């Protein structure tokens, strides 16, 4: 009786693994397909066979189309945005969670309110502001408007709320002021949340498309998504080259995610997603 139940449980588990593996293969098929196609010569495209010859020239072609420059632009843009978000959202999230000051609630609503209004509403005015400031085709235009995030501030606030009050009290008795507490006690204890913030800010800025395509129009200012889209236009018949672009655009982000993912899942659970 017991054995039968155990056997049932085990076969159910095997079934689950089969389902999960099968589904994830299907789910990741576009990326596997992109990786495979990126090593094909033109005659082998679309045959779904093991090719006679694996080629690496596609990577050279994408490289020549300006890949390094796209990487550079994206790295500068993402770096600036991540750094800004890290500082600005973390400070605000901390103040909202731990400091009682008059107007605290109002500030909270101003910050959360940005989540309610779709960002596209600000697209044209920000474009006009950039034109007036002479910022079109500059890094400032790609970075400065995107240094804040209502969602990430909210996330940091929730995280700081979960840090016990006693830690700060102890630091205060030791003679630390607000800033000392924040930098020397709170931040070192917030590594998982900060890693999550970095993942989200990195993901959003690395993958941003609508804003860069609007605020820049010179090819030398292309970020990776815009460059990839231009590849698709240029090499419509050359799937292997476009797919190489897909691999180049995707791989860095996936690697960063895999490195940081432990922190990410931990802090997601810690903050406790509630409706």
What residues between 22 and 51 interact with other proteins by CB under 8 A? 23-24, 27-31, 33-34, 37, 46, 48
C-alpha pair distances (Å), 11 with each of 20, 166, 181, 243:
14, 49, 54, 39
Q: Do residues 128 and 208 lie in contact, with contact meaning Cβ atoms separated by under 8 Å?
A: no
Tokens read off for 74: 């994206």
Choose the binding region for other proteins from 15-23, 57-65, 75-83, 158-166 (rule: CB under 8 A): 15-23
**Residues touching other proteins: how many (CB under 8 A)?**
91
Q: Among 69, 114, 137, 138, which residue interacts with other proteins (rule: CB under 8 A)?
A: 114
Closest CA to 249 of 207, 204, 203: 207
Q: Tell me the per-residue interface mask from 49 to 88 with other proteins, x by CB under 8 A, - otherwise.
A: --------------------------------------xx
Q: Among 6, 7, 60, 110, which residue interacts with other proteins (rule: CB under 8 A)?
A: 110
Q: Among 7, 68, 129, 161, which residue interacts with other proteins (rule: CB under 8 A)?
A: 129
| Residue that has been written with the tokens 């931040």 in this structure | 187
CA distance linking residue 50 with residue 70, whole number of Å: 32
Q: Among 7, 161, 167, 269, which residue interacts with other proteins (rule: CB under 8 A)?
A: 269
Q: Do residues 65 and 233 lie in contact, with contact meaning Cβ atoms separated by under 8 Å?
A: no
Least Å distance, CB 160 to other proteins, is 11
Tell whether the torsion through CA atoms of 11, 16, 17 and 22 is positive or negative.
positive
CA distance linking residue 257 with residue 185, whole number of Å: 27
Q: Looking at residues 144 to 173 of the shown chain, list those that interact with other proteins (rule: CB under 8 A).
A: 144-148, 153
CA distance linking residue 130 with residue 133, whole number of Å: 5
By 3-state DSSP, what share of the chain in percent is helix, strand and coil, each rounded to 5? Answer: 80, 0, 20
Q: Looking at residues 205 to 264 of the shown chain, list those that interact with other proteins (rule: CB under 8 A).
A: 206-207, 209-210, 214, 224-225, 228-230, 232-233, 236, 239, 242-243, 245-246, 249-250, 253-254, 257-258, 261
Q: Among 53, 56, 125, 165, which residue interacts with other proteins (rule: CB under 8 A)?
A: 125
Choose the binding region for other proteins from 54-62, 143-151, 157-165, 184-192 (rule: CB under 8 A): 143-151
Least Å distance, CB 114 to other proteins, is 5
Four-CA torsion 65, 67, 72, 75, nearest 10 degrees: 140
Report if residue 128 touches other proteins, rule: CB under 8 A.
yes
């Amino acid at each position: 009786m017991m054995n039968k139940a155990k056997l049932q449980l085990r076969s159910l588990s095997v079934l689950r693994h089969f389902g999960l593996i099968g589904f994830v293969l299907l789910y990741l098929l576009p990326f596997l397909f992109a990786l495979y196609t990126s090593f094909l010569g033109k005659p082998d495209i679309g045959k779904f066979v093991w090719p006679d010859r694996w080629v690496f020239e596609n990577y050279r072609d994408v490289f020549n189309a300006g890949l390094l420059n796209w990487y550079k632009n994206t790295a500068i843009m993402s770096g600036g945005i991540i750094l800004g978000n890290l500082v600005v959202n973390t400070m605000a999230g901390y103040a909202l969670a731990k400091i009682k000051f008059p107007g605290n609630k109002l500030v909270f609503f101003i910050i959360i309110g940005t989540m309610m209004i779709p960002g596209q509403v600000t697209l044209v005015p920000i474009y006009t502001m950039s034109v007036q400031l002479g910022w079109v085709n500059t890094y400032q235009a790609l970075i400065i408007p995107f240094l804040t995030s209502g969602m990430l501030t909210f996330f940091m606030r929730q995280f700081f709320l979960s840090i016990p009050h006693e830690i700060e009290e102890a630091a205060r008795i030791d003679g630390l002021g607000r800033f000392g507490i924040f930098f020397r006690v709170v931040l070192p204890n917030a590594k998982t949340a900060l890693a999550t913030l970095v993942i989200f800010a990195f993901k959003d800025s690395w993958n941003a498309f609508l804003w860069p395509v609007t605020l820049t129009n010179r090819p030398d200012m292309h970020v990776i998504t815009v460059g990839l889209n231009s590849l698709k236009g240029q090499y419509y018949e050359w799937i292997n080259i476009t797919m190489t672009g897909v691999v180049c655009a995707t791989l860095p982000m996936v690697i960063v995610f895999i490195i940081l993912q432990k922190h990410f899942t931990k802090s997601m659970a810690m903050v406790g997603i509630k409706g």
